[in-house]
Amino acid sequence: MASDTNTSLKQSLGELLGLARGLMADRELTDSEINFLNEWLDNRYLVTSSFPGNVIHDRIKEVLADGVITEEERSHLVDTLDMLIEDRLEDLAEQIDLTELWFDEVGLIDFQQARFCLTGNFVYGPKDVCKTAIEQRGGIVTPSVGEEIQFLVVGGLGVDEWRTGGLGAEIESAMRLRATGKPVKIIPEDCWVAKL
């Protein structure tokens, strides 16, 4: 049963990849294309119930909520779809399997005064948007991994080199700290988003 779901998910992510390639053929996203993608995702529960489809869907909903699509919002959606095409959506499931080796299990995150570092590229939004989401909940974002951080959040986009074995400098630093007994947790973007 799990393998059937995994196969269906890969097929659905493959459809999303094809759609993203079609929409991005001219390197632009018009208002009507964004609305079309929103409607398409509204009818694809399997895609929107798992990462990265769930975050993309939420992001598009936020962009459309006020009825105005700003150039910054449009630009981020273009960049996000571009990176998803580059990373190939059908490979994301394999990426998640591999990276789970160094991700930590976390329960409830108490953001108040917790220290975070962000690495990679995020589906949720540009890093400043992610930083704001943490700060609005009382958390503190530091520019690099140090002994004082409690959470290293790894963005869900652009981690091709991590898939093939090379870890980013921030992840390596966090793993070294963890090995010395420091309580730093390395968590994926989808886990962080779920705790917001």
Task: Output the 3-class SS for 178-193.
Answer: HHCCCCCEEEEHHHHH
User: Are 24 and 54 within one domain?
Assistant: yes
Say which amino acid occupies 102: W
pLDDT in tens, 171-184: 878 888 887 888 89
Listed residues 91, 108, 134: the one ending a domain: 91
Report how many domains make up the chain: 2
User: Are 68 and 137 within one domain?
Assistant: no
Alpha helices in the chain (DSSP H): 2-23, 31-42, 45-48, 53-65, 71-87, 92-99, 127-135, 160-163, 169-179, 189-195
CATH of the domain at 115: 3.40.50.10190
pLDDT in tens, 67-108: 999 998 888 888 888 777 665 544 554 544 434 446 788 888
- What's the pTM value of the predicted model, to 2 decimals? 0.57
C-alpha distances out from residue 24 to 2, 79, 85, 134, Å: 32, 10, 9, 31
User: Are 57 and 122 within one domain?
Assistant: no
User: Are 108 and 49 within one domain?
Assistant: no
Residue 68's domain spans which residues?
2-91
